[in-house]
């Protein structure tokens, strides 16, 4: 095929054909499919030169907004439902009795401090209702898993994560790694989660507003649960009373992850009882 005789479909076929030389078979499959779908998108909407350039500028601005703290591309993936789609693709085969997985989000920071059973993660006072998330980590037969690791992080009552306010909150505020006891129990102390807006001061926020959407996430606590011999779990516990359950901006809400934060037998704390069930690896 010559340049002079190139057609829309012929160009797509030529690009896909050249990618056929990719040595790695999985990379070859991904790249050829990506080109086919990208070209079909442009042909379907009859993309103009001006729209193509606007897209380039948007992606450039998204990359420029990223740093060691903020990942604007993850935020873009989240708000387009792409992160949740990847979650569904990779976890839809899991047994029904296993706790549902959900998205990681852009604010996870590894190497949180080890916390003792029942120790508070609160290192910065900005209001909020003291709360306890407690329960057990179990296998699918209902047996407790001792020594399971729960990596926990949440936003403060001022609606910001510690990583978003390095000059305000201690870096490890409302972050912690807990371990289950011999009976599989855990006791995590923080504050009642609040609804909060995802960062809307960048290109992703502008896209949300331009498309008539809000930037709010339903109130939740993030928890990664792992244990030797089991499939790791990345999940949330949502506050059932959140008004954004049906419109969470990153499409991450799952009804099975609803929790109730209610006055409990521990004075001064709201208590949310929630068990996690892991599948064997």
Q: What is the pLDDT of residues 10-67, one digit of tens each?
A: 999 999 999 999 999 999 999 999 999 999 999 999 999 999 999 999 999 999 999 8
Local confidence band at 267 (pLDDT 50, 70, 90 cut-offs): confident
Report, as an integer, the average pLDDT of 105-132: 94
Which sign does the torsion angle of CA 183, 189, 195, 197 carry?
Answer: negative
Q: Residue 153: phi, psi to the nearest 5? A: -150, 150
**Residue 4: pLDDT above 70?**
no
**Residue 97: pLDDT above 90?**
no
Stated pTM of the model: 0.90
Q: What pLDDT, on a 0 to 100 scale, did the predictor assign at position 68?
A: 84
Query: What's the CA gap between 30 and 175, in Å, rounded?
Result: 36
Query: What's the CA gap between 164 and 242, in Å, rounded?
Result: 22
> Among 102-106, 157-161, 240-244, 264-268, which is the least confidently predicted range?
264-268
3-state helix, strand, coil in the chain (%, to 5): 30, 20, 50
Q: What pLDDT, on a 0 to 100 scale, did the predictor assign at position 19?
A: 98
């Amino acid at each position: 095929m010559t340049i002079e005789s190139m057609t829309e479909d012929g160009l797509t076929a030529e690009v896909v054909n050249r990618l056929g030389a990719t040595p790695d078979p999985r990379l070859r499959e991904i790249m050829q499919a990506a080109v086919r779908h990208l070209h079909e998108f442009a042909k379907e909407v009859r993309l103009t030169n001006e729209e193509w350039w606007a897209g380039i500028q948007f992606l450039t601005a998204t990359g420029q907004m990223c740093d060691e703290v903020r990942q604007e591309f993850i935020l873009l993936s989240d708000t387009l439902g792409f992160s949740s789609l990847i979650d569904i693709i990779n976890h839809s085969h899991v047994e029904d009795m296993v706790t549902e997985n959900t998205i990681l989000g852009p604010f996870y920071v590894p190497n949180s401090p080890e916390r003792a059973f029942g120790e508070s993660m609160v290192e910065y006072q900005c209001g909020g209702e003291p709360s306890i998330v407690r329960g057990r980590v179990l296998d699918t037969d209902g047996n407790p898993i001792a020594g399971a690791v729960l990596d926990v992080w949440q936003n403060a009552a001022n609606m910001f994560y510690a990583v978003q306010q390095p000059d305000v909150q201690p870096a490890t505020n409302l972050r912690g790694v807990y371990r289950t006891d011999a009976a599989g129990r855990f006791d995590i102390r923080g504050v009642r989660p609040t609804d909060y807006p995802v960062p809307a001061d960048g290109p992703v926020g502008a896209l949300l507003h331009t498309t008539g959407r809000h930037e709010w996430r339903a109130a939740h606590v993030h928890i990664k649960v792992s244990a030797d011999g089991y499939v790791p779990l990345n999940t949330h516990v949502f506050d059932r009373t959140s008004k954004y359950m049906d419109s969470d901006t990153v499409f991450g809400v799952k009804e099975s992850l609803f929790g109730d934060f209610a006055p409990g037998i521990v004075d001064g704390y709201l208590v949310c009882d929630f068990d996690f069930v892991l599948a064997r690896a």
